[in-house]
Each structure stands twice: as C-alpha cells, then as structure tokens.
Amino acid sequence: MSDSNPTRVRLLEKGQADASLGPLYDRADAVSQGSTLPGPTLFGNQVRALAHNPALLRSLFGVYEAFAAEPSIDRKLTELGILVVSRVNACRYCVQHHAPLAQGAGLKKAQLQAIQNDAWSDHRLWSKEEWLVVRYAEALASVPQRVDDALFAELRGCFSERQIVDLTMRLALCAAWNKFNDALGLDTESAFQHAFSELGLGAGAEKVSV
C-alpha cells in the first residue's frame, strides 16, 4: 500500500458496529495500549474493516483464541515466520505490527534488521530451529505447493506434527492477511507505527525479490 492510497472500505468504529462486537473492539484496541506482549489477536483496523461482517469477525477471533489456548510452538518462532512471510509479500501493515512483537518475543535487533533488509539468508544469524522456520516461511510464502520434501523432512526432525500443522496454518493465515490488508489499503495504527519506528530498522524495500 502506498501513502497516497486511502483505506478502500469504511472502518467501522465501535458505535457504528454490531453491539455484540464491543468486547472484540476492546481486545483489539488493548493490544495497542498495553505494555505486555499480547497473545494472538486481530489488530484495530482489521477489526474495523471486518466489522462489516460480524459473523466472520467473531469466527476469526475464535481461530486466534484456539492458537492461544494451547500453543504448541515458541512465540518467537511464530513471529519470525510471520515477519518473513510478510516481507516476502511486502505487507507493511503486518511488518510494522509484528516486528515490535517479535522483539518482545526474543528476536534480536540484528535478526530484525536482516529481515527488514530481506537479507535473512545468512544462516549464522539463526539457531537451527529459527533457520528452519525462516526457510519454511520463505518457501510457503513464495510457492507453497513447491515446499520440497527435503525441507519438510528437516522440519519433521525438529518439530512434532502438531507443531508443523500449527505453524503452517499460522503462516498461511499471515499470507492471507497480507493480501487482505494491502487490497483494502489498511494503515498501521499510530501506536504500532511508533513502536516500529522505535526499533530503528528503517523503512525497508517496498518490493521484495526472492
């Protein structure tokens, strides 16, 4: 999304939306205001766009509640994969949200900078598990039907089937959000713009070559 491209649908404020969605608005807005790392959630402008379809919004919250209820994989690894997918898809909204969350989950400044520069291919930056997630996220985001058997065998050597299923679904959802956010022209909420700026990573390239 470019700065000149306004949001393409109305973002419904709490008072304009179905009254039953009030708690979901509160939860999404609390993510921007709190000082602790949140569990998986939707973000404010996503909620305001999805509020046009209350049943869909409630269902998607349920998906993220399921991830949070019984997490199977380290949050740092999930955030790492989300960032790589979002950089492959050049989704500024997701990168600006998840870079601060990834730092809170334990990713180092050098690792975040490498992702922001699309320079994650130096395996020395990563632990064995992190490097697998980086490679899997890049492959899944680029051409998912061509994730090769050798890479998948490495995943199976490090992670349980439950972990692989959870990670795959989380990264696939991220790719869907990348397209949703950019197609609708969603802007990053100001609190996350500030949090991302505080990381000092720079804007990064608008287009990504992989």
Number of domains in the chain: 2
Q: Domain residues for 42?
A: 12-70
Confidence of residue 203 (pLDDT cuts 50, 70, 90): low
What pLDDT, on a 0 to 100 scale, did the predictor assign at position 2? 44
* Mean local confidence (pLDDT), 41-49: 92
- Same structural domain, 94 and 175: yes
User: Where a domain ends, among 70, 86, 109?
Assistant: 70
List the one residue out of 107, 97, 99, 100 whose CA is nearest residue 28.
97
Q: What is the pLDDT of residues 119-162, one digit of tens each?
A: 999 999 999 999 999 999 999 999 877 799 999 999 999 999 99
Mean pLDDT computed over every residue of the chain = 90
